[in-house]
Amino acid sequence: MSAQLRKKIQKKFKIRGYSLKIEALDEVLSFLRSFPDAEDEAVDLLLDNLEHESLKSSIIDKEPLQKVVSLLLEAEGVVAEECPSSVSSHSALRIIDVFFVPKFRFDPIKKHFYEHTGRLPIHGEASAKAGLYRDRFLLLYQRVSRDMHFIKPAFDTEMSNFGGCELSTIQSLVGQSGRRWVMGVISQLEDGHFYLEDLTAAVEVDLSKAISFI
């Protein structure tokens, strides 16, 4: 494998907020040997499945990658046995019964997903609707915060024209000055008044001069 491919793999993992150890990088390279004509798609597939693992750190070692690679190669083998004529070099499907689909939740403190093992009622409780929007917000928040433009630089690296774009909570804006980046949802808590709201607080915003792109 060329050094260019190694750099490409490390860049893709870095965009998702991960760093690879040497043995983990070797595991990825070994996996890509099974997909010589679809290396980019194979790395993206590996990253998508890696996000469902309960990782202890953003620095990836060999063990979690081995687990994901084994699942993908196992799924590839099942597809090949059932329909060998329709298998391509980059197909990897795993069929899961809808009633046994694992439910994952995001821990904002440890910053990783964990599998919810408790029993889920057929009919939602009163708090289910609020929980749905909270989980969806946390999912989007962690995806945005892992984007290359919003990752806090560990060293003096290149940043955007606005400097560091690390996301801040609305509550942390109290007593602060200067430019800050926040993420929230626009809600109408009062008639005629709109607020930008996250999980910590809400602040009224003036939308009279807002520009619509629709």
- How confident is the model at residue 94, as a pLDDT? 62
Residue 193 scores a pLDDT above 60: yes
Please answer whether residues 167 and 183 qualify as being in contact, where contact means their C-beta atoms are separated by less than 8 angstroms.
Answer: yes
Average pLDDT over every residue of 161-173: 77
Beta strand pairing status for 185-190 and 167-168?
Answer: unpaired
Average pLDDT over every residue of 124-146: 84
Sign of the torsion formed by the C-alpha atoms of 45, 50, 51 and 52: positive
Place of tokens 């019964």: 97
More confident residue, 121 or 61: 61
How far is residue 47 CA from its own chain's centroid? 9
More confident residue, 196 or 89: 196
- How confident is the model at residue 197, as a pLDDT? 92
Closest to 202 measured CA to CA, from 181, 175, 184, 176: 184
- How confident is the model at residue 156, as a pLDDT? 54
| pLDDT tens digits, one per residue of 45-96 | 888 888 877 777 788 888 888 888 888 877 765 444 544 544 444 445 666 6
Place of tokens 């808590």: 189
Q: Is the pTM of this model over 0.85?
A: no
Average pLDDT over every residue of 4-28: 85
CA atoms within 13 A on the CB side of 109: 0
Lowest mean pLDDT among 92-106, 129-143, 155-169: 155-169
Angle at 185 (CA atoms; ends 162, 180), nearest 5 degrees: 25
- The CATH T-level fold of domain 3-95 is Helicase, Ruva Protein; domain 3 (1.10.8)
Closest to 34 measured CA to CA, from 76, 66, 67, 94: 76
Domain ranges of the chain: 3-95, 129-205
